[in-house]
Structure 1
């Protein structure tokens, strides 16, 4: 047994035992970490062997490892059944206020959101009370994760649904008298709800102000598929789960870039999905459509446009990520790119903006748009260290991908040596560092540089590969720093990824000193 897989050393020299928990659907495999309270490697090795053997026994013995699924579901059913009786008795005695009804409905939707996103969190769940009432030990609970959380959340969601139904039954009256003769059959009345086109217009008017223009346009096109399929006058309440399943089938047949390809542009939806020979949208894009439709119906139900939500549980399985999505440049490729950018031996670099934009990508690992939207004022100095202040402050078109994307990235010494600061000085009378990179709704400020780099520069260097693009600079930076033993949290700070864990999120909110980031980025070499 390789102890290095189970032992880790803290910065104080104390050994910790790490043991992987069973796989979940989350991206990161969960682990437990236990302090061995010793700095002696021999003592730590002995304890680690003992704990690892216990872990293997527990893992291989399914009776020890977790509650059986049928047993777990029975416990959840019993627990919430008792609670349901108490809730119904309360409603019969005192009724349920409108505020309580709205809170229950909101919590039920929150539980469904957690189930859809497959997040194994205990938010809103009575975990400790469930364990105490049903006699579930801490060991049984931990070994049954994440199924225990999922089943408990399903149970709570179902309880709230039944409570809301009971509240609705007690909220109305029926005064109908029995008829002497059965009435003649009549057509079912049209459901009282909003028209699809009207509801979508209200939904977009409320939400579009919070979204970037590109996102609003994308979501509008997603919702336009519903209008095209059902018609603008279709009543939301008349739409059923079967209709949602039909939409799902249509999405699986929908050609990619339907509105831009000459052979498909202008074709009605029903005809476009019958045209063969075109690549269809990916499972990820299908799920993006369905997620928006579900969100729309949740909003519509809350605002009285309909009485039900029909896109729950409609997502399709995701395809495995292709191994050629993106990959870093090799050491030889990096040297070849660097040589051409700095010497222009083959005459491929005709604009200073292309040269410095590409070099910034190489030596910072920043995203394409982050580089191209830089202002002159974003090149700053702190404690004698020059850095890029990557932010969304400035004109209204500047943006960042996430909160962690706002960061300070020290300038690599090679950038300074090559004359980047002199280039900045030449443009000090303007506002933007690269004013010749125009803004585009689809590509932001990075469209011009991205097209030149991906479609002209790399192919002429004989690097025309689907997996090699400007974004490969980020993969290269992360790979090289990791190979240089730079701690992962510092790498995340440099490239703008969120740091994880209590230590980083709570106790290291101020981040790392500029000198630490500089020392790390200097370990990147071409």
Structure 2
């Protein structure tokens, strides 16, 4: 699957990705709107997207601090010292985990050291990477919200001290690397203290979060939509606690702080005009804004619980501090969640889908998408990404091959890959004739006009039309009724028809439970068994 770089990512001539971020006029050295540019130090597009997502939140937090007061010479040195100290700690942690610098890295640091020393002695620019010194210092000022104007005495001090900081950073990294050249075996009596083996790795919240995300992606444990959702959740955690926070500093009180922030967090923060562009502190106190519902809050907390369980298992922390933090809910009948359609509601839908009584159906997907959902229980995205080659006979039975064999397809879990028999009513309504007509036109997909969304897959058009137009027009406006309710409906009616639960799971693509099903029944149910079960779906039509 091709990943398209969004506008805030830029690729240098060396194919290295950079993050560009808007810089408000108030924080620009020359008082004009511009952007900051940060090297993501990777040529991998997927990695760049992960880093950009979290860095974007950090940039918002830093820029939002503003610049209300001036800075002293001591303030400038403290900011530079903290910046390069953090860089040095990351380099040390990298060497501790992966080994010493390679020859090329050493040569680059030595060259940078000489450049910085020469720039100090001759009062010439550093000219690092692909940017001049004004761009470099403007980026530094913007990221840390420093109240420094270009041309001011403070700017001149920053220029000089940044060169010293860069020189000393390069020297410190080289010295740390050189310390690995030999072992020392002195005793404590000789005045040398033996180094203590670290109990846990030194890592920031961002570093642990990125490793957690990367491992789950490489393990193919998340669907694409889940990957985006988890990334957004963890990016908010960076914003609340600070991405560069030592992972070991995230204790139970910090976890409670996160939970309290989520309870006050606005719904659709980046879409609502009243909160879009506001800092976190401003957004959570904005008046008259709907807050996240409990179900969404629990999704965030579940992500954080998973992150810290992983961090504990991998030796970064001693306690999984978010475990048990989700909010307990008392389920009220008819409140929240997705509901199944009743038999009468199914009849109302079929009257429109089959006979188009009020003229709501204008396109093929508006008819066949919901009908396939109603007679298979398949997920929205599974239906929306069907290729014509996925509709074929197996064991003498027409079926849908639900798979992720194409680069653009996604499945929620491993159990989602399956064959689903085509219900006889779909055949009676002309589905196979429609498929054959599409093949004759040279089409490859059942719904060729659908566009792909990296976050939500192929089902956006069908889902929006069904939920926002179709259901409302036919009077089915209950909050719990959406396209996914078709899946609930199929499960409900099959179970009420006394179809065994393992067969229902096989039809809808849920993982089986128990040793017998998981380990001994690997071939699964026959298509004939699944087809016979599906034929119990008899919807009354008006």
Bin for the TM-score computed over the shorter chain: 0.5 to 0.7
- 1:218-240: CA deviation from partner (whole Å, max 9, x where unpaired): 33322333332333443334444
C-alpha contact 2:251 2:321 (8 A) present in aligned 1: no
Cα 1:492–1:195 change in 2 (3 A) is: closer
Is the 8 Å Cα contact of residues 376 and 433 (structure 1) preserved in structure 2? yes
Contact 1:248 1:314 survives alignment (8 Å): no
Task: Please state how far the C-alpha of 1:307 moved relative to its aligned partner.
Answer: 5.5
Tell me: CA distance 1:423–1:287, structure 2 relative to 1, closer, same or farther (3 Å): same
**Post-superposition offset of 1:509:** 2.5
**Aligned partner (choices 328, 336, 340) of residue 328 of structure 1:** 340
TM-score by length of 1: 0.58
Task: Count the aligned residue pairs.
Answer: 341
Aligned to 1:474: 487
Within 5 Å, which residues of 2 pair with 1:132-171?
none
Q: Report the equivalent of 1:508.
A: 521
Any idea what SS the aligned residue of 2:457 has?
A: coil
Please, which of 430, 438, 441 is the counterpart of residue 454 of structure 2?
Answer: 441
Deviation sequence 1:222-263 (CA, Å, 0-9, x none): 233333233344333444432232222212222222222211
Structure with greater contact order relative to length (CA < 8 Å, sep ≥ 6)? 2
- Counterpart-to-counterpart distance in 2, 1:234 and 1:483: 53
- Rounded to whole Å, the distance in 2 between the matches of 1:505 and 1:198 is 36
Partner of 1:216: 227
User: Match for residue 407 of structure 1?
Assistant: 418
Distance 1:515 1:256, change over 3 A: same
Q: Deviations over 1:485-522 (max 9, x none)?
A: 32322222222223333443344322222222222212
Moved more, 484-493 or 359-368: 484-493
Whether the 8 Å CA contact 1:297–1:308 is kept in 2: the answer is: no
Who is 1:457 aligned against?
Answer: 470
Q: 236-245 or 254-263: which moved more?
A: 236-245
How far residue 479 of structure 1 moved from its aligned partner, in angstroms, is 2.4
Which piece of structure 1 moves more, 291-300 or 495-504? 291-300
Q: What is the alpha-carbon distance in structure 2 between the residues aligned to residue 366 and residue 353 of structure 1?
A: 15
Q: What is the TM-score of this pair, normalised by structure 2?
A: 0.57
User: 1:81-480 maps to which residues of 2 (within 5 A)?
Assistant: 175=188, 193-209=202-218, 210=220, 211-297=222-308, 308-309=318-319, 311-313=321-323, 315-324=325-334, 325-394=337-406, 396-428=407-439, 429-480=442-493
Contact 2:380 2:463 in 1 (8 A): yes
Alpha-carbon deviations, 1:99-132, whole Å to 9, x = none? xxxxxxxxxxxxxxxxxxxxxxxxxxxxxxxxxx
Work out whether residues 225 and 456 of structure 2, in 8 Å CA contact, stay in contact via their aligned partners in 1. no
**Quick one: structure 1 residues 444 and 193, their matched pair in 2 at CA, closer, same or farther if it must change by over 3 Å?**
same
Specify whether residues 329 and 298 from structure 1 end up closer, same or farther in structure 2 by C-alpha distance, changes over 3 A only: closer
- Conservation of the 8 A alpha-carbon contact between 1:294 and 1:309: no
- Residues of 1 paired with 2:317 and 2:370: CA distance? 53
Q: Is the 8 A contact 1:391 1:406 kept in 2?
A: yes
Cα distance, 1:507–1:245 mapped onto 2, change above 3 Å: same
Question: Which deviates more from structure 2 when the two are superposed, residues 279-288 or residues 451-460?
Answer: 279-288
CA distance in 1, matches of 2:494, 2:310: 45
Q: Tell me, in whole angstroms, the C-alpha distance in 1 between the residues paired with 2:412 and 2:497.
A: 27
Aligned equivalents of 2:311, 2:518: Cα separation in 1: 36
After TM superposition, give the deviation of residue 483 of structure 1 in Å: 2.9
Deviation sequence 1:115-159 (CA, Å, 0-9, x none): xxxxxxxxxxxxxxxxxxxxxxxxxxxxxxxxxxxxxxxxxxxxx
Query: What is the RMSD computed on CA atoms of the aligned residues?
Result: 3.1
CA gap 1:234/1:505 in 2 versus in 1, 3 angstroms:
closer
Give me the whole-angstrom Cα distance separating, in 1, the residues matched to 2:497 and 2:208.
Answer: 55
- Residue-by-residue CA offset, 1:373-430 (whole Å, 9 max, x unaligned): 1111111112321111112222x23122222222221111111111110111112222
Relative distance call for 1:327 and 1:222 in structure 2 (3 A) is closer
